[in-house]
Structure formats: structure tokens, C-alpha cells
Amino acid sequence: MPPTFTPTYARIAGWGKHIPARAVTNVELQERLPTTDEWIVSRTGIRERRIAADTDTPSSLGAQAARNALACAGIGPSDLDLIITATSSPEQIMPATAAIIQRDLGCGPIGAFDVNAACSGGLYALAVAAQFVRSGLYRRVLVVGTEVYSRQLDWDDRSTCILFGDGAGAVVVEASDTPVGILGIHLANYPAGLDLITCRGIINKPAAYAEDRGYLLMNGPAVYKAAVRTMVEASTSAMQQAGFTLDEVDLFIPHQANLRIITAAAAQMALPMDRVFTNVEHYGNTAAASTLIALCEAATAGRLTPGAKLVMAAAGSGLSYAAIAGTWAPNR
């Protein structure tokens, strides 16, 4: 007979981040690029971004963020049932970054796998974790979003290198017997946006791409329009599933790609900026880590109190987009 499971709810029980020490400011970039601090800030809202040290890897950043999340949740590696890592800049194709984090944490033989949905990856991984917990199959799942984009950027390309940074965020998703936590999920991919953000890299590159240097390439204006539209669409859908309206939202945590995208999405949803969390000024776009780092900082800063209604949204390469809505119930 197959095992039977009791469906439950999934809440975020712990959170943590790990940010590289080195901050690269716009002033530093303007020394090598045809740009200025004023130009970058006016178009993106970014003033600095963190860049990984030579010894940093996506797995090492992710493992430290995971340790911080476990400590926040008051549990150890042996309490985990599964690890899901979101990254689009792994240090290797295999084994999975999640498997390396699993080893570095000292976990036993539990499941560990990666998710690649680019900048939406953190929310995709969180959604997958929530489904494992809500089904009753697992009680605690670790979600890690970690990126080292600085190594796949053309640092002579002003249109991309000013936007991205490195870092990791992590959360522990835990079962709850009460209807709290992650209540609404919207995942989607817009095929017409497939080529808006690309990074073919050098692994298994076909002959047609022989001249492609493997750097990240992006159609900025098209991404702006698509990101605003899709994040609003996904947020609206997730809120409807969660059973609350925009007027009831206490905090909106969007993907931290560009302040203009964030303000435009908030305006379309008629959300005042005092109910929107941003940290793009300090980190730039950390892709799959972005929403998880922002969630960690919002919680640490006291922007989330028990019972608060929360919406998180992201859009990225693919064109992937996602949103999660629910009530904050850390039980701490």
C-alpha cells in the first residue's frame, strides 16, 4: 500500500542571507565605463552591488545563508527533509548546487535538487517547497537562492554590468496545522519573451553560437515592459488564491531588478510605496536570490509582523514570472 499523507499548510519558519563583503559603487564603475553615478541611479535606483570574492561560489554563499536560516528557525541540518536551490549561475553543471550545499551543511541522505527559472527562481523554488509541505510528504524544506552573476557579465557592457550583483538568501518552509503561510501561488512562463534575457555560456554550445562569448545579454526596454505587466498579473492571481485584496496587502516584496520596474508595478496595483519593500539600491539584481534576500531583510527590519498579508513577485529570463501570497506566521 502506498503511504498516506495528511495535507497541511506551509509557513516560512526561518530566514537568512549571506552577502559578499566587497561593494562596488557606481562611482567605481564610472571610472571604466561611459556612465555616471547620477545616470545609473536615475535609471535603475542602484547605487552599489556586492561582488563575490575569488574564493566565493554559489554553493558557499548559499550554504552560509542556509546556516543563518536554520539558526533563525531554531533547527539543525538533521531536521531537514529536502533542499531546493534556485540558481542560474552554478559553478558546475553537475552535481547540483543543492547537493554541494547539502554536503557542506552536514545533512544526511535527503533529497536535494536545483531549480533554474533565472530571476524568478527563488519564488519557483519556494512554490515547489510549499507543495511538498502542503501535500504532507515533508515537514521541513530548505529553500536557497544563490547567484554569482559577476562572472557571466561583460564588464565593458554598460547596459548589463551595472545592474547585477552577487548574494544568497534562504528560508525554511515548515508544516503548519493552521491556514497560514503560503496560500496563493502563480507560476508562468511567457514564451514570446524567450530571447529577452539570455546567457548561453560555454557548456554544450552548438556550432551556431561559436562566436557567442557567453555573457549575459538583455533587451532592457522590452524586459521593463514585460516585467511590470507579468508581476502585476502574477500578484493579482496569487492574491485571489490567498483570499485577500490589494487593499489588505501589508507588504509587497518585488524582485529587486530596477526601481523603475518596482514603482511602475506598484503604481499599476495602486500600492503606495510605503507598503513596498526595496533594497535594490544596495545590491542591484541578485536574480534568484533577490526576493529571498529582500524577504530576510524585511523580516529582520520588523516590516513583517505575525498575521501580515504578504505578496512576493518576480520576473526573469524565459520569460519566467511568479508570485506568492499569504500570511506571515513565523511562530517566533
The residues carrying an active-site annotation are 119, 255, 285
Residue among 267, 293, 271, 269 at smallest CA distance from 280: 293
| Distance in angstroms (rounded) separating the CA atoms of residues 331 and 12 | 9
| Distance in angstroms (rounded) separating the CA atoms of residues 113 and 104 | 15
Query: Is residue 331 exposed (0-12), middle (13-18) or buried (19+ Cβ within 10 Å)?
Result: middle
Q: Give the start-end residues of each E strand in the chain.
A: 9-18, 22-25, 48-51, 82-86, 111-115, 140-147, 167-176, 181-189, 197-198, 217-218, 251-254, 309-316, 320-327
Query: Is residue 147 exposed (0-12), middle (13-18) or buried (19+ Cβ within 10 Å)?
Result: buried
- C-alpha cell of residue 59: 554553493
Torsion sign (Cα): 198, 203, 206, 210: positive
For the chain, the maximum distance between any two Cα atoms, rounded to a whole number of angstroms, is 67
Alpha helices per DSSP H over 108-254? 121-134, 158-161, 220-242
- C-alpha cell of residue 290: 533577490
